[in-house]
Amino acid sequence: MPEEGFAEAFGVTEEARAKINLALHVTGQRADGYHLLDMLVTFADCGDRLGFLPAQADAFTLSGRFGETLAGDGGTNLVLRARDLLRKQLGALAFPVHIHLQKNLPVASGIGGGSADAAATLRGLMRLWGMSLPVEALAALALTLGADVPMCLGSRPLIARGIGDQIEAVPDLPAFAMVLANPLKGVSTPEVFRRLTTKNNPSLNLAPGLAESADWLAVIGDARNDLEPPARQIVPEIAVISAMLQSRGALLTRMSGSGATCFGIFASMTAAQEAAAALHGERPDWYFQATETVSGGM
């Protein structure tokens, strides 16, 4: 669906911003197998879009560059699961709805696309249905959809600990000009965790009072993504794409989540846009997107 006609076609629309792990430290593992994480997370001013309309019967349609990837996803799609769980909570007044997902982000790429879509579905349907849930109940429902969904509800900079359920806002985090880059090769998250050699790594510690972007860049640079080394073993293109970002002037590069998306932070949006255009010229079959992240004070 054309970008310019999206808002006109649907009465309620929601943005599902890409979730960027600026840092991801694996600090332990629970007895039930869940890994304990410390994550510094921000959200990009790009992502998927969702539209919502009243309908005679529930319907779900797809468009966008990566829409076909989800065709036939059926009951496993997080958008549909979010719809059904929210309706179960809200009851009979939750009338049938047509949901359209414009899938602009690569699927299973470490930038929270499915989780952001689920969170946007919860927000959009509550607006369409004219109903709401208490904050705690909504967060609990979101967590049943996945550990990343609660943090995507607000889509603002945060630190998440535990399995992602302990969330603390980071209002001082500035916006960053960024290029997202993905070689469009899937990475198995369970396999990445299986290959981790150490699961009890130092936690994420941020010094208080950071004010300048340069200070934050230094702190982020000193942090890590503990999942990047094993992900590079599985998909060597991650190292290639990181080097490509550096060659175009990125001040800092890192993989997000369990991959394979990498990000490069640039000095300005102009520099990021020029880098993305040049990289797309080198590898038009890969994904490159210039964007700006949201600030903590948005």
Residues marked active site are found at: 19, 148
Asked whether residue 115 is marked as a ligand-binding residue, the answer is yes
Residues 172, 286 contacting (CB under 8 angstroms):
no
Asked whether residue 28 is marked as a ligand-binding residue, the answer is no
Asked whether residue 111 is marked as a ligand-binding residue, the answer is yes
Asked whether residue 139 is marked as a ligand-binding residue, the answer is no
Asked whether residue 234 is marked as a ligand-binding residue, the answer is no
Token digits of residue 15: 């943005």
**Backbone torsions φ then ψ of 59, nearest 5 degrees:** -140, 150
Asked whether residue 223 is marked as a ligand-binding residue, the answer is no
Query: Do β-strands 177-182 and 262-266 pair in parallel, antiparallel, or remain unpaired?
Result: antiparallel
Residue with tokens 């369970």: 190
Asked whether residue 109 is marked as a ligand-binding residue, the answer is yes
Residues 46, 18 contacting (CB under 8 angstroms):
yes
Residues 46, 180 contacting (CB under 8 angstroms):
yes
Asked whether residue 112 is marked as a ligand-binding residue, the answer is yes
Asked whether residue 110 is marked as a ligand-binding residue, the answer is yes
Token digits of residue 12: 């309620």
Q: Comparing C-alpha atoms, which of 178, 162, 265 is closest to residue 221?
A: 265
Asked whether residue 114 is marked as a ligand-binding residue, the answer is yes
Q: Which helix (H) or strand (E) holds 47?
A: strand 35-54
Task: Quote the CA–CA distance of 111 and 114 in Å, as a whole number.
Answer: 9
| Residues in the annotated binding site | 106-116
Binding residues for ATP: 106-116
